[in-house]
Amino acid sequence: MNTAPEHVLPRDIEKRSFEIISAELGDTGFNADEESVLKRVIHTTADFDYAHNLCFSPGAVQKGLDALGRGIPIITDTKMAWSGINKAALAQLGAQALCFMGDADVAEAARLGGTTRSAACMDKAARTHPNAVLAIGNAPTALMRLHELVLSGQMNPALIIGVPVGFVNVVQSKELIMTLGVPYIVAKGRKGGSTVAAAVCNALVYLSLQKPASSINRILPGTKMELSAPRDGEI
């Protein structure tokens, strides 16, 4: 084992990390956009198991890019996932990230309904942004409530990012989401987390900024601003 440290300039650390990931990952069987998402998740977790656990419904990445390009918001189940999303880059698409966990009406709804605040957040999402991109990295109760809302016709998400971590109902909630016929990116099994949810969101944002506007139905009403992808190290 080589224990001599590499000399890497601070601005090149992220670039070098992705070079290592690409070399160790090899052929994944994913298309280029899916692989970009996978690599961002591995970069965040240093866990190559996601090469086997991360699942994409057909066209899921493109549908996510189209949604963000139309300014559709990302709604997260935790402040941690929300905090990890690059809001400055997302704003270049005319979109925003939202989290309702700290809202007083959500806390009251959870108390009255005897449910979790994460599940109550999905009810608020259904009322305010029924076609949002949903990024769930912590609470399987959020995914299970989301499953109910989609089945009842109260939500039709542009994309569901289902990557909660843990033991109780985590696997089951992910499997439920994969039966809905709604676009999804899901980390099968017990692994996931808020950082993984944020990594998937950032991968979509960066991909969107790198692509021609015409390829992702990007719409920015009333503006001619030039969109640019973040440089290496801007995460």
Distance CA 98, CA 102 (A): 11
Catalytically annotated residues: 43
Q: Which amino acid is at 91?
A: A
Q: What is the distance, to the nearest Å, from the Cα of residue 114 to the centroid of all Cα atoms in its chain?
A: 28
Strands (E), 163-215: 184-187
DSSP state of 192: -
Q: Which amino acid is at 117?
A: R
Q: For the range 110-113, what are the long-range contacts, defined as Cβ-Cβ under 8 Å and sequence gap of 24 or more?
A: none
The total of other beta-carbon atoms located within 10 Å of residue 9's CB is 9
The answer to whether 192 and 164 are in contact (CB under 8 A) is yes
Angle made by CA atoms 124, 91, 211, in degrees to the nearest 5: 115
